[in-house]
Amino acid sequence: MFRFCAGTFVVGIVFGTTLLNAAAPENLRQSFETLLPGMGAEKIAESQSAQQQWENICLNLCKPGKEPGRIEASRLMAENLGPDTPSGARIWLLRQLEYLGGRESVAAIAAAMDDEDLLVGRAARRALTNNPSAEASQQLVAKLARAEDPVFKIGLLNALAYRADPSTVAAAAKPLNDTNLAVVAAAARALGEIGTPEAAANLKKARENSPPQLREVLGNASLRCAATMVARGQRHAAQAIYSELRNPQEPESVRLGALDGLFTVADEHPVAKICAILRGSDRGAAGVAAAQIAKLNATEVKELAGNLAYLPPASQVLALEALRVRADKRVLPDVVAIARSKDPKVRIAALRALSSVGDASVVPLLLEALSDGGPTARAARGSLEALYGEHVDAAIIAAMQTSENIQRRALLIEILKRRRSVAAVPVLLEESRHSEPHVRTYAMAALSQLAQHDDVPEMVQGVLVADAGSERDGAEKAVMLLCNRVTDRDERADPILQVFDTLADEDQKSLLPLLGRIGGKRSLEKIQTALESKDPDLYGVGVRAMCNWPDGDVAQELLDIFQSSQEETYRLQAMRAFIRVIALRHERPNSESLEMLREAMKFCSRDEERNLILSRTTSAEIRSLEALQFVLPYLKNPATAQQACRAVVGLAHHRYLRRPNQAEFNKALNEVIAVSDDPALVDQARRYRSDL
């Protein structure tokens, strides 16, 4: 397979057998010399082809058994790192030497670090940093000894840190005396990564004479040095460093880091040490000790929990939070014992811990705490919502059913909802018919999330017993939310319609607004029957049901009510509903929606309604040049001018509409600039007029 590099020399080698042949030592020089000119081409399209082909060859040479080819390719690239090779090609060659180069390329890479092109120099430093040979470390050390520029020194020290070569300790330690604090910090980090006893000794010496602004940096480097020793199994040497860093003269962050390190290397009983620190007055150390609880085994955790009562309150809080995160139910008796503490913070921490270590047996305790109010009640409620285990839901349900306190009963229903307790649905259906409106409201809200579509007929009873007004609206919305889970719009109301004809006339009338919220063809038929009735009350309910409709398919029906109704209240309701639904999803052509707005505008008697109609012209279902023309006359009327300005700018916001009709929009936008009292809107109009 061949690929031609446009405007350059040759055919490139890609994959398969051809690539393998190109990577053979006897063919490498020819392949390299063929591709090298393309690697430095000025045009990216030309250079990428050659660069990618050479990279594929280099990647193939990384495989086992390819060592002669790797050495040859590395030498070829090293020979061409001089100024005769374009910078782009040199950078690319150095990128390959990052993973391919060995001792054979070190000298050439080191020379390239002094290149006048900073990008080449940085690429060379990266290549030398990744070179596995001892000679690479020697070159970096030599460069560091001669370096004067602080930025260059820091780059070299970072390279030594990455390599973590024990032979470079002396070189990395020398800049600890540098006058540039950033260089000193880089040297400290390098010694920390190297992590040998010699590196630790140099850091210790530097700490003894360090200025305050460097003490934390040097301390953290010593911590890193100790951690490196722990990883190598040198636990006693690391322990000595950690012990030194517990010195009160060290910064707090260093002392606490050392304490954490001592826990990792200590041989003594961890629980005794944790408890000793928790009983002390050092709150920072107590936090570190509490964090060790997560690392204890099951026996140790149980032992620590047994010591909770003997700790000061602040440490009890820390330990309880750690136990909550650990979620070990074996400590439940100890947490329950302390959950009745007279210290409010301790009690709250214990109640919070019960969310993960508790079971159904703690439900009464949490219910009791709900009565305290404030933060204690919030902690108890949070635990009741999060508590898991067998019989927990049953315990909360039983408590809810037996509670005579209406507020408590409603709160427990809310907790069951938050717990997503499907087991509570049968009881909640009963509660939706409770004698107290507050309980019914909470029950219906919970059922909207927990019930299934098959439960809708029983929920209908909750709608029928709900008081007119906000409670009835909430109950209808709860049933609507449940019905809306059905994909087919015409099937959503089926569970209600199944029982509708079996109900008394008054109950049927009560359900019409609910059918209006849900929609569907059969629901519409029931509502239209009500609108044709001679019964004024039934007609009024039919109007309200139609005004509840969830989509734009009844826009014409609402417009008909507005035009034909003799009652001003119904006319106003129908107009507002029409204005709401006209911009919703519908099955008629968009042009018809605009015509319906025109028709509605003729019958409007109030500026509030006119402004509402103007606000709908920017919706996706109506947005068009004709909509702009519809809005323009209302710029002349002071009562509608500001909403008309917003409509014009809203239409102009859409480039696909504005740009083909820029002349018409510019004229309209000029009027907006002259009329609008909104500076931000005027600024938008100016930008759209200039097509920005």
DSSP string covering 523-589, please?
Answer: HHHHHHHHHT-S-HHHHHHHHHHHHT-SSGGGHHHHHHHHHH-S-HHHHHHHHHHHHHHTTS--SS-
d(Cα 504, Cα 516) in Å, to the nearest integer?
19
d(Cα 60, Cα 67) in Å, to the nearest integer?
11
Whether the CB-CB separation of 320 and 338 falls below 8 Å is answered with yes
Give 638: exposed, middle or buried? Use CB within 10 Å, 0-12, 13-18, 19+: exposed
pLDDT digits (tens, 9 = 90+) for 653-690: 999 999 999 999 999 999 999 999 999 999 999 999 98
With a cut of 80, say whether residue 13 has pLDDT above it.
no
Q: Stretch 562-568: mean pLDDT, rounded?
A: 88
Q: What is the mean pLDDT of the chain?
A: 91
On whether both 13 and 58 belong to a single domain, the answer is yes
Is 253 inside a domain boundary? yes
pLDDT at residue 552 in the model: 85
Is 574 inside a domain boundary? no
On whether both 213 and 170 belong to a single domain, the answer is yes
Cα 648–chain centre separation: 37
pLDDT at residue 333 in the model: 95
CB neighbour list of residue 78: distance below 8 Å, 6 or more residues apart: 97, 101, 104, 105, 107, 108, 109
On whether both 118 and 231 belong to a single domain, the answer is no
d(Cα 173, Cα 225) in Å, to the nearest integer?
13
On whether both 6 and 48 belong to a single domain, the answer is yes
On whether both 159 and 124 belong to a single domain, the answer is no
Q: What is the DSSP string of 117-144?
A: SHHHHHHHHHHHHH--SHHHHHHHHHHH
Distances (CA, A) of 532 to 334, 503, 537, 542, 543: 71, 20, 12, 9, 11
- Residue 101: domain span: 1-132
Domain with residue 225: its CATH number is 1.25.10.10
Q: Which long-range contacts (CB under 8 A, 24 or more apart) does 496-501 make?
A: 496/456, 496/457, 496/460, 497/522, 497/523, 497/526, 498/457, 499/457, 499/460, 500/526
On whether both 72 and 127 belong to a single domain, the answer is yes
On whether both 186 and 91 belong to a single domain, the answer is no
Whether the CB-CB separation of 668 and 647 falls below 8 Å is answered with no
Q: Which of 332, 336, 289 is nearest to 312 (CA)?
A: 289
d(Cα 415, Cα 413) in Å, to the nearest integer?
5
- pTM over 0.85, yes/no: no
Query: Looking at 237, 267, 297, which one is the last position of a domain?
Result: 267
Is 420 inside a domain boundary? no
pLDDT digits (tens, 9 = 90+) for 455-480: 999 999 999 999 999 999 999 999 99
Is 261 inside a domain boundary? yes
d(Cα 685, Cα 665) in Å, to the nearest integer?
10
On whether both 117 and 154 belong to a single domain, the answer is no
Whether the CB-CB separation of 324 and 355 falls below 8 Å is answered with yes
On whether both 118 and 165 belong to a single domain, the answer is no
CB neighbour list of residue 150: distance below 8 Å, 6 or more residues apart: 178, 180, 182, 183
Is 314 inside a domain boundary? no
Helix, strand, coil fractions of the chain, as percent rounded to 5: 75, 0, 25
Q: Position of tokens 């063919």?
A: 27
Is 284 inside a domain boundary? no
Q: Express as a percent the part of the chain with pLDDT over 70.
A: 96
Query: Looking at 267, 298, 319, which one is the last position of a domain?
Result: 267
d(Cα 326, Cα 334) in Å, to the nearest integer?
14
| Domain count of the fold of the chain | 3
Q: Pick the residue with more confidence: 575 or 161? A: 161
On whether both 41 and 19 belong to a single domain, the answer is yes
Query: Looking at 116, 132, 148, which one is the last position of a domain?
Result: 132
On whether both 7 and 121 belong to a single domain, the answer is yes
Is 372 inside a domain boundary? no
Q: Which of 320, 283, 284, 325 is nearest to 304 (CA)?
A: 320
pLDDT at residue 17 in the model: 42
| DSSP E strands, 241-289 | none
On whether both 2 and 128 belong to a single domain, the answer is yes
pLDDT digits (tens, 9 = 90+) for 314-347: 999 999 999 999 999 999 999 999 999 999 999 9
Is 274 inside a domain boundary? no
